[in-house]
Structure formats: structure tokens, C-alpha cells
Chain A
Amino acid sequence: MTIVAPSLEIAVLVLGVLVVLFETFADQVDKRTFAYTAMLGLATVFVASFFLPTSATETADTGFWSFYTADPLAIFFKRFALVTTILVLAMMIDYAPVVRESIHGTTRQSGLGEFFALPIFTCAGLMWMASAIDFVMIFVSLELVTVSFYVLVSFTRRNPASLEAGIKYLILSALSTGFLVYGITWIFGVTGETNLARVSTALANPAIESGPALFAMLLVLVALGFKIAAVPFQIWVPDVYQGAPTPVTAFLSVGSKAAGFVVLLRVLQPFLVMPRMERLLVVVAAATLIYGNLAALPQTNLKRLLAYSSIAHAGYLLIGVVCLNGEAVVYYLVAYLLMTLLSFAVLVVVSRQTGDNIEDFNGLAKRSPFLAFAMLIAMASLAGLPFTVGFLGKFYIFNAAIAHHQTTLIVVGVITVACGFYYYFKVVRAMYWEAPRGDVAVPVSGISRFAMSAMIAAIVFFGIYPQPIVNALRP
């Protein structure tokens, strides 16, 4: 039996529906079973994605295949979304007690089932978005992702911070959606098309007015800038990241951002021939790098620090986008996935015992050497030390920048990389130098320990041997 590409998303959707359906009627069962089942199901889909026919690039001008592509980039990001969701679910299992405390439902477990089911729908949306090559499809899948995030961000609803985060995310996200739709209508108005390839050919026609086209693109960029947390659309990030339940923050910072970048890569392609567009993006990238890194310097809360660091990494990714180097962007995103999820995984476990300030990590090396080591690897990779995947990511990005002679971005990059060392090593310093608060070891569940070990191994492996990822992107 051959599997065609859309069946992956459909399988994930069905899985999500089944989980919601069964958990309603299974009150006596430990709800965490559903999370395990979902992880298993997603893993199966992940494995199935390797059995897709390799030449699945149908080029029909109309019908389904003008909305949907199954090129290597799309397949790669479907896998990316699946891995992210599996790891986030593993974190959510550890986070379950916190959800339980803050919901006060009719039963002890109320709310947990939905908590585990929603990420599956988000995952389906992310996978759909990776394949979207039509503005309509991009919009629909983006909404599927965003709507499930509305719920997830404010899930621990007794916690005011979480509610505040939910409101902020809702309002700003709705606003950005408005920009997106408005932009799409302008594009449709100018070119008469919504399919990206046909928009691109229409734009190449010299009879087209470039002013309105540029304006339309600006509107779309505003919306996508919100998704990837680029300056000046980053204002929501610190508060929402801090307030949201930690696994959701991790999901938001990896899944949502990665999807934004895939769409950006696809959407920008026809527009980047205009030099004004490139200059604009250089400014945005430089501003994002500077803001993210400088604002991260004084942070004392680790979740907030990671929020600013996620803005900073959006800046590095934007360098790759400016140079239109898909390979560099994808590699960096993989690096970003591994190191960000690893740091959030440690954060979930540690913050349950003490808290999510950097101080709460004091002396972690003495209490729980494994967790401290995992965090050390994550921070080393985020800072970009060699033999970690983060280094190779920066290597790819700056290689692209040098190839494109983006001197401004390179100079800004030197400064921001140095800043990065300071704030990431601040966490290392807390874990290894400071005296511990109490000497109770932090309990780690088996599945977290396994997930963390796998991520550490992947960070080091892909940091030395990048070839598998590069190969996966080629047809």
C-alpha cells in the first residue's frame, strides 16, 4: 500500500478526535494513558512518513494539488511538527499535576484529557501548513494552529498570569490574522490569484503595479512577523511565554515559529526579487537580533529569558531568510527545536519543585547532576558552542550571510553572539557555582529522562554529523 501525503495529517486529526472522544467516557482511567497513546500514534505517523513515494510532486494546475504540495521541505516539516508534538506531550505528562491543581473541575482529572488532545490538533495544523502553497490554505491551517493555541495558552485558568497571557495572545493574534487576510485580499486584487506559484508568475509580469503588491506583502509580513516574533511584532512574546503553561510555551516557541518560517520562505520567494524588500528584511533582522539579545541580558526569570532568546533566534533565522537559504533556515530550526525543547523540558521538571527563576536553579549540579548536565548542553548549544547542533546552525547561517555579503548583519551578529554567551552562561553559573537551596534531588520521571537523553544525544550527534538532515531536504 502506498501512502499519499495528506493521509498523514488526516491520520493525526483522526487520532485527535479519537482521544477527545474516548477520554470523555473514560473517567476511571488515568488520563495520562491518553498522552502515551497519542505519543505512540504520532510516532507511528512519523515512521509512516518515511514510506511516502519519493516523487510525490504532482504539478496539477488546478484542483487539490494547487493547494497542497508534498515537496521535501513539506515532508521534512511534517516530521518536525510530529517530533515537536511528541516531545511536548512528554513534557505535558510531567506538567499534569500543575494543571490538576489549577483547574478545580468536578473530578480530580477534569481538563487533563483536553490538555493532551489539543496539541494533536495543533500538530495537524502545523503539518497542513507545511504543505500549503495557496494563500487560502495557508490562512486556514494557520487558524487551526492559532485557535488551538488560544485555548492552550490560558489552560491553567485559575492562574491570573496564564489568563493574562491568553488574553494578550488572543487579541494580538486576532489582529495579526486581520492583517493577513487583508494582505491576501490585496494580493488577490493585484494578481487575481491565490496560488503562490501563479502569484509569482503574475508578479513577474511588468504590467503589474508593484506598489500595491509591495503593500500587500507588507501586510502579510506583519502577520508572519507576529508568528515568528520578529521586531517590532515581538511585544507579546515575553508575557505570553511567561504566563502560559510551560509545555505550551515550548510548543509555541518551537512549533508556531517553525511554521511561520516555512510559510515565510514560501511566500517571500516571489517577492524577494524586489530590492526594497530585501533592505526591509535586513532592517527587521538586525532589529530583532539586537532587541532579543540585549533585552535577554538582564532577565532573572528563566522562562522570560528563553522568551527573549527565542526572539534573538528569530533574528538569526531571518538572516537565513534574507539570504533565501532554505537549507540554513531548516538546519537552524532543527537546532532550535532540539535545544529549546531540552531547556524547557528541564525547566518543567525543576520549576515544579522550586520555581522558574534562574535563582531556583542554584546548585542544581549538586542536587541533580543529570538535569544540570542536560541544561548545560542546551545552553551550550543555544550559545553556539561547537560539537553541538546550535553551532552548526550558526555556521550555516553565517556562511549564507558571508556568501550574500550581508556585512551589516554579520557585524550585528558578532555583537549579539557575544551577548548570548553572557545570558546563557548565567544559567550555567547558577547551576554550577552557586550554593544549592536544600539538597533534595529533583524527581524525574522515566519518560522525561528518556526524552532528555534522546535530545542530548541528538544535539551532539547532529552537531558533529549534519549530513542526515541535509539529505532529508533533497528529493
Chain B
Amino acid sequence: MILLFVVLFPIVAALAILLGAPARRTALWSAGILLGATLLLSFRFEGDTPGGYEMVTSFSMSSDWNINFTLGVDGLSLMMLLLTALVTLAAVWFTGEIAEHRNAFYACLLFVSAGAMGAFASLDLFFFYAFHELALIPTFLLIGIWGTGDREVAAWKITIYLATGSFILLLGLIMLYRAVPETARSFDFRVLQKSAILIPAKAQGNIFLLLLLGFGILVSLFPFHTWAPQAYASAPAPAAMLHAGVLKKFGLYGLLRLALPLLPAGAQQYNTLLIYLLLGNIIYVGLVTIAQKRLDWMLGYSSVMHMGYIFLGIASGTLVGTTGAAVLIFAHGISIALLFALAGEVRQRTGTLVLADLGGLGKLMPLAGFAFGLAAFASIGLPGFSNFAGEVMVLFGTFRNGANPERFTIYQWATVLALWGVVISAVYMLRAYRAVFMGSMGESLSTITDLRRSLRVPIGLLVAITIWFGFFPQTFVKLVKPTFQSYFAAKQ
């Protein structure tokens, strides 16, 4: 029941706001309630059924298709739900003055959040897909109406890319559904997990390719990444937080949830291709990030680049690497949300995000500078932040796959190249930090004030979480590991 509540509550809240409830207050309260309910959910979660789902509720939608509205959580989806609730609260909190259509803005935010919540809690392919698409129109409107810069192009680009990616994904899902004999067909993850061994290797390969392409476009896998930086640069800060932090992770979650356990043979066939592409994310996009001259574009590209590490974890083929990918999904979601929030605040005060025009803001905005520094460190992957734990696990996991002291395989080479990515991200993050917060400020910037005091709460929340999991990553690993253990146990 509580699961049903967290999925439907944001929709109800959004509709209430559309119908005229006081926008900010309702949104803030409902985001708070959402987080509370999700926390309650995680306390109720027992986690002692490896590979099993808890709190399953199910309603039949179509008996001859076997489509059910089934909700349930395991460690992995619980982690995603927590991430969604956290970032939603932060995004609503960080929403500044909205000039026009205030209610619609908050309703759109909550709809995006509802789409993510529903997708992560669904145990049915159909609703898993449908909830994600629910966020498409709100995203289009958020960027189109309230965006800045070249918002029109950005909104079209993200919409067309995501729509195409989703449609390819849909074809893959239908093929997955049809790949097993007619009597075993189901949209239910649990049934699929049992019947997936019946899929022949060739079909697995085709389906995996479609899923990789579909999910890959949604997660900005190189070379389908160009929509992301542009959209995040134009989007209002809360929308960028929600999309980059949460919604984009849907594709990664889908790969972890569907492609890896159901199509192991397909994954093996296309692992090499995936590794080449993700190195494009890490190295090529990393270098492109260094060349950026605007903070928002730089953050957008950096988020594309970091997807490469998560893909590396997915491609690693080891338990440690895969678990690391899941931890990194969470860690990246928190840190990128914080970075976009602070960039949004800087833009609101200075009116520009061109790195060359900024400088010395650390003196005027010490709180923002401090928080940005922490988030930048986290994003680089310094020890003590949760990203570090995730990246280390990913890199170790990949390196260990088929490790042979005599000869490097593609996994070892990928690890070595990916390690350079850490240096690249240190270069652009620290450069951006220096350009914005250090040095001397221009005349025009001298009247700028620091963040509102009330914003200390969401910043404190996000920073505390990333530090907590940096020091105690075990709490998370324990949560998500059972999911992956069952994958690798089934393989052997």
C-alpha cells in the first residue's frame, strides 16, 4: 500500500497544484511527504529475500496480454526510489521565483518525479516503460516555457531524441516479450526472470542490441549524447536536477534490471561494442568538457562523461563492478543535482554562466562556494564521497574480469583508459571552481548576496548523504548487492 502511495501521490499532488492549490507550499509539502514515505518504505524493507521483491501489489489490466499494474521493490529499486525522493525535494526547494505559470511549473516537476517513481517501482514491463514516458511532455514544457538561452532547439532536441530512444526501447521490450514460447509470455519481471533462459542466444543478441540502443539514447551513451548538454544548459535548474539526477538514470536502471539478468548471452556478444562506446563517453566527451566556456554546458557534458563509468560497471561482468555501477548511479545523481542547483543560483544572481565573466564569488557567496567545492570533489571522485566508492568498485571490478598477469584484455585496457578520465574530470571541475569562485571579481558583481538561509537544509541534506555513503558505502552495497548476487549466481 505504501508503495502505491509513493507512486500515485506525486501525480495527485501535481493535479491538485494544476487545479489551483498554492503551488510552492503544496509542492514542498508533498515532496517532503514523499521522502518521508520512501524512508518509511526503506525501514519496512527487510532485504532478506535474495533476488526477491517485497511489498508486491498487483492489479490486472489486460488478461490476454497478461499486463498487470504490479509494484514491488528490491534493494536496487529501493535505492532508486530514495534517490528520486531526495532529488525531488531538493529540486522543489531550489525553485526560485517563477515569473509565469507558477502552478504549472511545480506540477511539471512533480510529474517528472512521478514518472521516475513509477518506473522504478514497477515490476511490469509495460508500466515500467509507460511511467518513464509520462515525464516526456513535462520535460518538453519545462525546457520550452521556463528555459533560457536556445531553449527552443534544446526542447525539440531532447524530445525527439528521447521519443526515438523510447520507441526503439519499446520494440526491444516487445521482442523480449515475444522471445519466449507463447505459454510463458508475460510482462512481469519475476516471470521473465524465470523464463528468460528459454531465449535462444541469437535472439538474445538482437534484443540486447535494441535495448542497448534504446536505453543508451536515454542515458546519452556516446555518440547519442548531444541532446544532454544542450538540454541541461537551457533547462531551469530544478528541471536539470531532476532530469540529470534521476530520470536519465532510468536507462541505466533498465540495463541493470533487464538486459543483464535476462540476456546474459546478448550482453556477452555486445560487451566489446559497449566498451568502445563508453570509452567515447569517458575520453572524448571528457576532453570536450574541458573545452567548455560556460558552466552549465560544462556540467551537462560532465554528466554525460560520468555516465561512461556507470556503463563501464554494467559492462564489467563482475559482481563488484555491477554493484559499483548501482552505487555510482546514486552518487552521481546526488552530486550532479547539487551542482546544477548551485549553478542555477549563480545564474540567478549574476545573470551569466560564462566562465570568463565570473570570478571571486567565493567571497560573496561563501556558502555556495563551499557547497560547490564539496560537490565538485565528489564528482571528481575524491575519497570520502560516495562517488569514490562507486568508481573504485567499478574500476576494480572491470580490471578483475579475466585478469591475466601475462596479457591485458579489453577490460584491463578499458580500466587504464577510464582511470585517465578521473584526471580529466579533475581538470575541468577544478578549473570551473577556480573560474567561478576564486580570483578577482568584476565590478558589476559586487552586490551579490549568498544563498538564502533556508537553502542550507537541502544542501546540507545532499552533502551529508554523499559524505555518509562515502565513508560507509557498505550500507548501500548491502542494499543492492543481493539483486546482483542472484544474477551472477544464476550464471554459474
Task: Report A's interface with B, CB cutoff 8 A.
Answer: 365, 376, 380, 383, 385-387, 391, 395, 398-399, 402-403, 410, 413-414, 417-418, 421-422, 425, 428-429, 432-433, 464-467, 470
Contact = CB atoms under 8 A, between A and B. Distances in A.
Contact of B163 (A387, A398, A421, A465): A421
Contacts of A391: 130, 133
Nearest to A467: B62
A464 B61 contact: yes
Given A380-B137, A421-B160, A422-B160, A395 B170 contact: yes
Contact of A428 (B63, B140, B174): B140
Q: Closest 4 interchain pairs by CB? A: A386-B130, A421-B163, A418-B164, A386-B133
A391 B372 CA distance: 42
A375 to B, nearest CB: 12
Contacts of A365: 101, 104
Contacts of B140: 425, 428
Interface in B8-42: none
Nearest to A417: B167
Contacts of A422: 156, 160
B145 A410 contact: no
Contacts of B69: 464
B144 A386 contact: no
B178 A403 contact: yes
Given A383-B163, A391-B133, A465-B61, 19 more contacts: A365-B104, A380-B137, A385-B136, A386-B134, A395-B170, A395-B174, A399-B178, A402-B175, A410-B171, A414-B164, A414-B167, A414-B171, A418-B160, A418-B164, A422-B156, A425-B159, A428-B137, A429-B155, A470-B62
A134 B120 CA distance: 53
Contacts of A466: 61-62, 65
Given A386-B134, A399-B178, A421-B160, A429 B144 contact: yes
**Category for how many chain B residues contact A:** 20 to 34
B170 A432 contact: no
Contacts of A470: 62, 64
B129 interface: yes
A465 B131 CA distance: 15
Interface in B351-374: none
Interface string B138-161: 001100110000000001100110
Nearest to A474: B64
B67 to A, nearest CB: 8
Nearest to A464: B61
Contact of A376 (B130, B137, B170, B175): B137
Contacts of A380: 137
A433 B144 contact: yes
Given A432-B145, A467-B63, A398 B171 contact: yes
B134 A465 contact: no
A385 B160 contact: no
Nearest to A373: B18
A361 to B, nearest CB: 15
A395 B178 CA distance: 13
Interface in B95-114: 101, 104
Contacts of B131: 386
A403 B131 CA distance: 25
A418 B163 contact: yes
A433 B137 CA distance: 13
A413 B168 CA distance: 10
Contacts of B137: 376, 380, 385, 428
A422 B63 CA distance: 34
B457 to A, nearest CB: 32
Contacts of B63: 467
A390 B133 CA distance: 13
A319 to B, nearest CB: 13
Q: Which of A386, A413, A422, A466 has the most CB of B within 10 A?
A: A386
Interface in B165-180: 167-168, 170-171, 174-175, 177-178
Contacts of B155: 429
B132 to A, nearest CB: 8
24 contacts: A385-B133, A385-B136, A385-B137, A386-B130, A386-B131, A386-B134, A387-B130, A391-B130, A395-B174, A398-B170, A399-B174, A399-B178, A403-B178, A414-B167, A417-B163, A425-B159, A428-B137, A432-B145, A433-B144, A433-B145, A465-B62, A466-B61, A467-B63, A470-B64
A75 B171 CA distance: 32
Nearest to A383: B163
Contacts of A413: 167
Contacts of B156: 422, 425
Nearest to B155: A429
A463 to B, nearest CB: 9
B134 A387 contact: yes
A421 B165 CA distance: 12
Contacts of A410: 171
A391 B156 CA distance: 20
Nearest to A400: B174
Given A425-B140, A429-B144, A402 B133 contact: no
Nearest to A465: B61
Contacts of A402: 171, 174-175, 178
Given A421-B159, A428-B137, A470-B64, A414 B145 contact: no
Q: Which of A398, A422, A433 has the most CB of B within 10 A?
A: A433
A237 to B, nearest CB: 25
A358 to B, nearest CB: 15
Contacts of A432: 141, 144-145
Q: Which of A365, A380, A398, A421 has the most CB of B within 10 A?
A: A421
Nearest to B60: A467
Nearest to A403: B178
B144 A414 contact: no
Contact of A418 (B65, B167, B174): B167
Contacts of B163: 383, 417-418, 421
B120 to A, nearest CB: 16
A386 B129 contact: yes
B66 to A, nearest CB: 11
A395 to B, nearest CB: 7
B129 to A, nearest CB: 7
Contacts of B168: 414
A410 B174 CA distance: 12
B454 to A, nearest CB: 30
Contacts of A417: 163-164, 167
A432 B100 CA distance: 11
A428 B171 CA distance: 26
Q: Which of B136, B137, B140, B164 has the most CB of A within 10 A?
A: B137
Contacts of B171: 398, 402, 410, 414
A312 to B, nearest CB: 15
A385 B167 CA distance: 10
Contacts of B101: 365
B65 to A, nearest CB: 8
A422 B160 CA distance: 7
A26 B34 CA distance: 62
B42 to A, nearest CB: 27
B422 to A, nearest CB: 36
Contacts of A395: 170, 174
A412 to B, nearest CB: 12
Interface in B242-300: none
A398 B62 contact: no
Given A386-B130, A417-B167, A428-B137, A398 B174 contact: yes
Interface string B170-206: 1100110110000000000000000000000000000
A421 B101 CA distance: 24
Contacts of A383: 163
A403 B179 CA distance: 10
A95 B112 CA distance: 38
Interface in B292-319: none
Contacts of B170: 395, 398
A467 B141 contact: no
A410 B167 CA distance: 11
